[in-house]
Amino acid sequence: MVDPSHRLIGTISDVVYDQEGGPEWAVVDLGLLRSSHYLPIAAGYMSEAGEFVVPYDKKVVKAAPKADRSHLVDRDMQSELHHHYELL
């Protein structure tokens, strides 16, 4: 996963799906002491070079709520994520 300038943010290690089975959140491993954070999948796109590009830099992703080991996103976490990424 890269930012708009194609600088590496991290690696997608898992995907969290919504109740209808659609991909909703990527779990991104930043490589910092096994730190993983959630990022909205709908915000990104796959480039022709095969990179998943998101409109956030690494600082924004690093400041996002950390993913727990279960990778489950409850209502409170979802609310925090929507607020963090300024999603409607």
Catalogue all structural domains in the chain, each as residue range(s) with its CATH number. 11-84 (2.30.30)
Tokens coding 52: 């998943």
Has residue 63 got a pLDDT over 90? Answer: yes
pLDDT of residue 88: 75
pLDDT of residue 33: 74
C-alpha–C-alpha distance, residues 87 and 59, integer Å = 17
pLDDT of residue 35: 85
pLDDT of residue 68: 87
Are the C-beta atoms of 44 and 35 separated by less than 8 Å?
no
Q: Which of 4, 21, 17 is nearest to 58 (CA)?
A: 4
pLDDT tens, 8-53? 999 999 999 998 999 999 999 998 677 899 999 999 999 999 999 9
